[in-house]
């Protein structure tokens, strides 16, 4: 049984490699995921190197009276270096010291921003960000690919012939789903490799790293992001496969899976903002649990999120809750797809 299933997976892989669609989808995934790396690089290049670009205005007039006194503009770099020589003689020394402390704080904040920006496009910090983009875009692309792989032979009218030659139905569908899981993993590994190369190139172009301690993003976090992204794609594989088997149409599988992807985000945002009780229902929809799972322990205060002009979309569920819901969706949708595939008649060519 395992041997025959492995042979079916190998045959499906052979057929898939000779189609244009997976390669086009992979190219799109790589292109969009690299926007994170290079967007971070150019943002870093445009950041001021120090807090010296922060200008402060000193007023020497009577406190509380507007339009009195002398106004002097200085930069933090000059103030911290003691190179400001044109300050009024009667300026309060306490005010100068207060501004000097503000400049020190601004300089420390600028150094922190520089370190964080540099870490975002260099290894290993660039991998979680690129994986987040790949997962978001990958949901759309894997749904398209899954519907195409499962539904193509319905459209061609070759499915009946394949099964008539002795292929077991459940093994046939299992081979396609296993192939999709392998393709998702392979695509993310390619994104990982390309991200590594582009991060090395971006780091070389950016020069040396800023001084100080880099943000605590290690290789363990990078590979955890890879695993999270792969798990997050599986429910959409099962969803697209289920719709395709139900309708016996790859076009319908793509349309419904993509329609759900966009409709859920809009509907949940609206309903949570209108009905407080809908937050409990939203904890069990697919997209919000994917987000909760991807956030993991690095929630950064995003448990309560907003959209637009401060409209609340509620708190995301916990990490374990998100994982369990994703597993439940994957198993139920795949199980129903197998049940339907075992019992439904196989029609002739449908063309779609």
Can you give the residue ranges of every domain in the chain?
A: 2-46+122-343, 51-115
User: Distance between CA 48 and CA 168 in Å, rounded?
Assistant: 64
How far is CA 263 from its chain centroid? 19
Number of Cα atoms under 13 Å in the Cβ half of residue 28: 16
Cβ atoms within 10 Å of 98's Cβ, excluding its own = 11
Residue 73, strand partner residues:
57
What does 110-168 look like in DSSP terms, one character per residue?
Answer: HHHHHHHHHHHHSTTTHHHHHHHHHHHHHHHHHHHHHHHHHHHHHHHT-HHHHHHTT--
pTM over 0.75: yes
Q: How many residues does the chain have?
A: 352
What was the pLDDT predicted at 214?
63
Pairing of the two strands 304-307 and 311-315:
antiparallel
Give the position of tokens 């590979």.
Answer: 223
User: What is the chain's pLDDT, residue by residue, as a tens digit (352 residues)?
Assistant: 788 899 999 999 999 999 999 999 999 999 999 999 999 999 999 987 765 545 555 554 444 444 445 556 667 777 777 776 666 666 677 777 877 888 888 888 888 889 889 999 999 999 999 999 999 999 999 999 999 999 988 888 888 888 888 889 999 999 999 999 999 999 999 999 999 999 999 999 998 888 776 666 789 999 999 999 999 999 999 999 999 999 999 999 999 999 999 999 999 999 998 998 898 999 999 999 999 999 986 654 444 443 333 334 568 899 999 999 999 999 999 999 999 999 988 776 665 5
What was the pLDDT predicted at 47?
86
Q: Which helix (H) or strand (E) holds 312?
A: strand 311-315
Q: Are 322 and 293 in contact (CB under 8 A)?
A: yes
User: Distance between CA 127 and CA 130 in Å, rounded?
Assistant: 5
What was the pLDDT predicted at 50?
65
User: Distance between CA 137 and CA 131 in Å, rounded?
Assistant: 10
Residue 307, strand partner residues:
311
DSSP 304: E
User: Distance between CA 66 and CA 76 in Å, rounded?
Assistant: 24
């Amino acid at each position: 049984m395992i041997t025959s299933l492995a042979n079916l997976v190998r045959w499906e892989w052979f057929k898939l490699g000779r189609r244009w669609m997976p390669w086009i989808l992979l190219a799109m995934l790589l292109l969009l995921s690299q926007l994170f790396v290079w967007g971070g690089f150019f943002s870093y290049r445009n950041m001021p190197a120090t807090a010296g670009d922060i200008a402060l205005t000193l007023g020497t007039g009577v406190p509380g009276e507007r339009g009195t006194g002398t106004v002097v503009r200085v930069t933090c770099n000059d103030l911290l270096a003691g190179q400001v020589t044109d300050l009024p003689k009667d300026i309060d020394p306490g005010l100068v010291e207060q501004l000097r402390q503000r400049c020190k704080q601004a300089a420390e904040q600028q150094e922190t921003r520089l370190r964080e920006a540099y870490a975002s496009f260099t290894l290993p910090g660039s991998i979680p960000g690129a994986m987040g983009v790949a997962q978001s875009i990958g949901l759309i692309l894997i749904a398209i690919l899954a519907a195409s792989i499962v539904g193509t032979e319905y459209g061609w009218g070759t499915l009946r012939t394949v099964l008539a030659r002795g292929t077991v139905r459940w093994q046939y569908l299992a081979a396609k789903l296993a192939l999709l899981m392998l393709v998702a993993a392979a695509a993310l590994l390619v994104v990982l490799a390309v991200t590594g190369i582009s991060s090395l190139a971006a780091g070389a172009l950016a020069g040396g790293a800023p001084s100080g301690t880099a943000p605590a993003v290690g290789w363990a976090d990078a590979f955890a992001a890879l695993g999270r992204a792969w798990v997050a794609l599986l429910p959409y594989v099962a969803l697209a496969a289920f719709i395709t088997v139900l309708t016996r149409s790859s076009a319908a599988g793509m349309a419904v899976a993509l329609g759900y992807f966009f409709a859920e985000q809009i509907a949940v945002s609206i309903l949570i903002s209108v009905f407080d009780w809908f937050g409990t229902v939203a904890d069990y929809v697919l997209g919000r649990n994917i987000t909760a799972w991807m956030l993991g322990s690095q929630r950064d205060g995003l448990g309560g999120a907003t959209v637009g002009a401060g409209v609340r979309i509620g708190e995301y569920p916990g990490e374990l809750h998100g994982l369990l819901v994703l597993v439940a969706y994957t198993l139920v949708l795949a199980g129903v797809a197998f049940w339907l595939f075992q019992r439904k008649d196989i029609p002739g060519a449908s063309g779609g």
